[in-house]
């Protein structure tokens, strides 16, 4: 993946999230490489970012994507699909569990969602609109139930 694709893809992800926010502030669990672009979208607040000041956010996001319980409010979850999602699944599993064995990674929520497995039944997967085709830049966005409805 080139830097141009990464930057355009990050913009596309955040444009989709901005549209889905309907003008409200939303909390998003997303791959950290796309979180910096969220600064340009005031409605989109990523949980985990690659800033040292946000170690708590990284831990909560990693726990969420590893499939561990978290108290963090999350409105939307974003994953890259297929082989593009594998490095992120490995990272969050290692951060959350201290384990990067393939068998552990494959049980993570990040891996399950990236591998096109069925999400929890209460989650919705709105259509994703992007510049690149799914074979070049595969992304899935999930809307989680609102906390007052969970």
pLDDT in tens, 79-112: 988 777 888 899 999 999 999 999 999 999 999 8
Q: How many CB atoms lie within 10 A of CB 6?
A: 14
pLDDT at position 13 is 94
pLDDT at position 99 is 93
Tell me the percentage of the chain whose pLDDT exceeds 70: 97
Tell me the percentage of the chain whose pLDDT exceeds 90: 55
pLDDT at position 86 is 86
Instruction: Say whether pLDDT at 150 is over 50.
Output: no
- The structure's pTM equals 0.89
- CA–CA distances in Å: residue 130 to residues 79, 82, 91, 106, 134: 14, 16, 25, 27, 9
pLDDT at position 149 is 42
pLDDT at position 74 is 95
Instruction: Say whether pLDDT at 116 is over 80.
Output: no
Q: How many CB atoms lie within 10 A of CB 78?
A: 21
Q: Provide the token pair at 100.
A: 């990067």
Q: Sort strands 76-80 and 26-29 into parallel, antiparallel or unpaired.
A: parallel
- Sign for the pseudo-dihedral over CA of 143, 144, 147, 150: positive
Cα atoms in the Cβ-side hemisphere of radius 13 Å centred on 76: 29
Q: Provide the token pair at 76.
A: 């939307």
């Amino acid at each position: 993946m080139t830097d141009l694709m990464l930057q355009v893809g990050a913009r596309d992800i955040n444009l989709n999230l901005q549209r889905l926010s309907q003008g409200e502030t939303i909390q998003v669990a997303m791959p950290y490489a796309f979180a910096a672009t969220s600064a340009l979208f005031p409605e989109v607040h990523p949980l985990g970012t690659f800033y040292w000041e946000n170690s708590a956010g990284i831990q909560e996001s990693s726990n969420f994507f590893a499939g561990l319980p978290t108290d963090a409010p999350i409105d939307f979850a974003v994953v890259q699909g297929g082989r593009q999602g594998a490095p992120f699944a490995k990272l969050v599993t290692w951060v959350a569990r201290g384990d990067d064995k393939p068998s552990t990674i494959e049980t993570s929520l990040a891996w399950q969602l990236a591998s096109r497995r069925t999400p929890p039944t209460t989650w919705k997967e709105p259509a994703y609109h992007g510049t690149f085709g799914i074979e070049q830049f595969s992304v899935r966005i999930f809307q989680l139930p609102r906390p007052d409805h969970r």
